[in-house]
Structure 1
Amino acid sequence: MMHKQSKKCLIIIAVAAIICALLTSAFLWILLNFESIVDKKLAQSISITPGSAVYSNWVCPDTPVLFSIYLFNITNRKEILAGAKPRVQEIGPYVYREKREKTNITFAGDNDYSNVTFNLRITYFLDRDLSVGDPDKDRIVGLSIPFVAMSAGLDAGTGPSDTEYSFLTLFATPQLFVKTTVTKYLWGYVDEILDACNSFTPDKCPSKKVGIMFGKNGTDNGPFTIDTGVNDISQVGRILTYQNKSTVDVWSSAEASMINGTDGSQLAPNLKRNSTRYIFANDLCRSFLLEVKGPGKLTNSKDLKVYLVGGTPQTALPASKYPYNKGFCAPKTPGPECPPQGLFDLSSCRAQGDTRPPIYSSQPRFFGADPSLREAIDGMVQPTTENSETKVYVEPKTGLVLEAYKRLQVSVYVRQAKAMSDVYQNFTKRIFFPLAWFEESAVADGAALNMLHKNLYVMPKIMHIILLTLFGLFLAVFVALALVLVVQAVLYCCSPRRPGGKAVSSAPWVADDVRYQPVNKGASRGIPLAEGGSAKA
Structure 2
Amino acid sequence: MGCCNRRCGLIAGAVVGALVAILGGILFPVGDIIIQGTVETEAVIEPGTTAYENWVAAGAKVYRQFWLFDVMNPLEVLEYGATPAVVERGPYTYMTRYLARDNITFHLNHTVTFLLPNGAIFEPSMSVGTEDDKITSLNLAVAGAYSAIPTELHSIVETLIKTTNSSLFQRRTVKELLFGYTDPILRGDVGFFLDYNQTYDGPYDVFTGKDDIAKVGKIDMWKGSRSLGFWNDEYCDKLNGTDASSFPPFVNKKEPLFFFSSDICRSVSASYESTMNLKGIDVYRYSLHPSTLASPLDNPDNKCFCSNMKTTKNCTLAGVLDISTCQEGRPVYISLPHFLHGSPSLRTDVIGLNPHEEHHKTFLDVEPTTGFTLNFAKRIQVNMMYGPSKVITVLKKVKDYTIFPLVWLNEVKEICTTYFEACGCNLAKSEGDVNQQSSSFLFSDRQRHWMMKQPRCSRRSSYLVSRCWTSYSRTDSRERCSPGGVGDQRSRSVGADFSQDKATCAKGETKGRRAFRP
Amino acid at match of 1:52: T
AA at the equivalent of 2:291 = Q
Q: Distance in 2 between matches of 1:412 and 1:56?
A: 41
- Corresponding residue number in structure 2 for 1:478: none
Q: Residue 283 of structure 1: SS of its match in structure 2?
A: coil
Determine whether 1:361 maps to 2:361: no
Distance 2:325 2:453 in 1: 58
Cα distance in 2 between the residues matched to 1:238 and 1:414? 38
Partner of 1:217: 197
Q: Is the 8 A contact 2:258 2:268 kept in 1?
A: yes
Offset, 1:466: 5.9
Q: Distance in 1 between matches of 2:408 and 2:117?
A: 21
Residue 383 of structure 2 is matched in structure 1 by 411
2:299 counterpart residue number: 322
1:340 aligns with 317
Deviation at 1:424, TM superposition (A): 1.6
Q: Is the 8 A contact 1:154 1:417 kept in 2?
A: no
1:91 paired residue among 64, 68, 89: 89
More helix by share: 1
Which range moved further: 32-41 or 315-324? 32-41
**Amino acid of the residue matched to residue 286 of structure 2?**
V
CA offsets per residue over residues 319-369 of structure 1, 9 Å max, x none? 1222111011237998766372111122212x22xxx33211111111121
Which residues of 2 match residues 233-382 of structure 1 at below 5 A? 233-298=213-278, 301=279, 303-330=280-307, 338=315, 340-349=317-326, 351-352=327-328, 356-380=329-353, 382=354
Letter in 2 for 1:428: K
Structure 1's 313 and 180: CA in aligned 2 closer, same or farther, altered over 3 A?
A: closer
Corresponding residue to 2:118 among 119, 122, 125: 122
Higher Cα Rg, which structure: 1
How much does 1:438 deviate? Answer: 0.2
- 1:68–1:469: structure 2 CA closer, same or farther, 3 Å change rule? closer
Counterparts of 1:387-426 in structure 2 under 5 Å?
A: 387-420=359-392, 422-426=393-397
Aligned partner (choices 166, 169, 173) of residue 177 of structure 1:
169
| 2:107 equivalent in structure 1 | 108
- Judged with a 3 Å threshold, the aligned counterparts in structure 2 of structure 1 residues 324 and 32 are, in CA distance, closer, same or farther, namely closer
SS of the equivalent of 1:392 reads: strand
| TM-score, normalised with respect to structure 2 | 0.74
Q: Distance in 2 between matches of 1:85 and 1:170?
A: 23
Number of aligned positions between the proteins: 416
Amino acid at match of 2:342: A
What code does the residue aligned with 1:260 have? N
- Aligned-residue offset at 1:430: 1.9
Amino acid at match of 2:117: R
Counterpart contact for 2:297–2:316, Cα < 8 Å: no
Specify the alignment match of 1:523 in structure 2: none
| Residue ranges of structure 1 left out of the alignment (5+ in a row) | 1-26, 196-207, 471-537
Residue of structure 2 equivalent to 1:430? 401
Supply the AA of the counterpart residue of 1:223: P
For 2:234, the aligned partner's letter is A
Matched residue SS, 2:58: coil
Identity of aligned residues (%): 29
Task: Write the distance in 1 (CA, Å) between the matches of 2:316 and 2:226.
Answer: 25
Q: Secondary structure at the match of 1:86?
A: coil
Deviates more, 1:330-339 or 1:289-298: 330-339
Structure with higher strand content? 2
Q: Post-superposition shift, 1:453?
A: 8.9
Whether 1:70 aligns to 2:47 is no
Could you list the per-position Cα deviations for residues 375-397 of structure 1 after superposition, in whole angstroms to 9, with x for gaps in the alignment? 222123x3222211112110001
Partner of 1:408: helix, strand, or coil?
Answer: strand
Provide closer, same or farther for how the CA distance between residues 371 and 449 of structure 1 changes in structure 2, counting only shifts above 3 A. Answer: farther
Change (3 A) 1:169 1:68: closer
1-side partners of 2:119 and 2:150: how far apart? Answer: 37
Task: Select 1:44's aligned residue among 26, 41, 45.
Answer: 41
1:151 to 2:124 alignment: no
**1:253 to 1:425, Cα distance in 2 relative to 1, 3 A:** same
Deviation at 1:445, TM superposition (A): 1.6
What is the alpha-carbon distance in structure 2 between the residues aligned to residue 335 and residue 370 of structure 1? 10
Q: Residues 247 and 156 of structure 1: is their aligned pair in 2 closer, same or farther, counting only changes over 3 Å?
A: farther
Q: Aligned partners of 1:166 and 1:407: how far apart in 2?
A: 36
For the aligned residue pairs, the C-alpha RMSD in angstroms reads 3.2
Match of 2:505 in 1: none
On the 8 A contact 1:47/1:228 being kept in 2, the answer is yes
Verify: 1:140 aligned to 2:146, yes or no.
no
Letter in 2 for 1:438: L
**CA offset at residue 192 of structure 1?**
0.8
